[in-house]
Amino acid sequence: MNFFSSSSNKRPANEYLVMVYRFIVVMFLYSAGRIIFYLFNTSMFPNVDFFSFMRIMRGGVMFDVSAVLYINVIYFLLFLLPLPFKFKEWYQQMLKWVFMIFNGTALAFNYIDIIYYRFILKRTTASMFDVAGYDAGNYRLIIRFFYDFWYIALIWIVTLIVLARLYSMLKPRPTFKVNSWKYGVLSLLALVLFAGLSVVGMRGGYMPSTRPI
């Protein structure tokens, strides 16, 4: 079954509500990933009780909002642009691929952290891939990693399936006719509003000192 293909049982909904819905879906999966990370590494956080973890989860929401906005800024812009072919099936499928590739990659790094954190006690960065440049034999170590921790790849694949299914539950429909001036004005206002809210979300708030990322 192709989970990236269009679905005949999509429920039409206002395009802006669909965008908010998809944002919430990604936020939910990021929070779920944080819970999975903790469950796999509970022994490394002996002083974290239930209430402490709830505070961590609450603080993580601010970080996730910023991260999701950075990761999906291209997707959201393509989603909001008042293009005449915006609601064509091919364009919607292209948007879905953009959404899945960017978020799938980000979620993969989150799940790699489950194991990677145990060894160096920090989050993953691009430097982790530099090991392949020192010796050809190190490629075998990378393959061995995925072999030993196959369940991490499995969790990631299941997450992608869930993400693709939830993404396709709603189908965006225009508020006005796409070629009308009303739709153009509304789209422009939506872009301005999105830009303003994105700046606030990426910064973690209005205050100059807030920098979640």
Residue with token string 């993969």 = 108
Cα angle at 64 between 124 and 12, to 5 degrees?
125
Domain locations in the chain as residue ranges = 11-203
| pLDDT for 212 | 54
Alpha-carbon Rg for the chain, nearest whole angstrom, is: 20
| pLDDT for 1 | 44
CA distances to 9, 12, 24, 50, 115 from 162, rounded to whole Å, are 16, 20, 13, 27, 22
Confidence (pTM)? 0.78
Please name the amino acid found at residue 59.
G
Rounded Cα gap, residues 134 and 152, in angstroms: 26
What are the residue ranges of helices labelled H in 41-174? 50-80, 89-120, 138-148, 150-167
Q: Could you give the 3-state DSSP secondary structure of residue 148?
A: helix
| pLDDT for 135 | 53
Split the chain (213 residues) into runs of 10 and give each run's mean pLDDT.
54 87 94 89 82 84 87 91 86 95 91 77 54 54 73 92 94 73 75 77 61 54
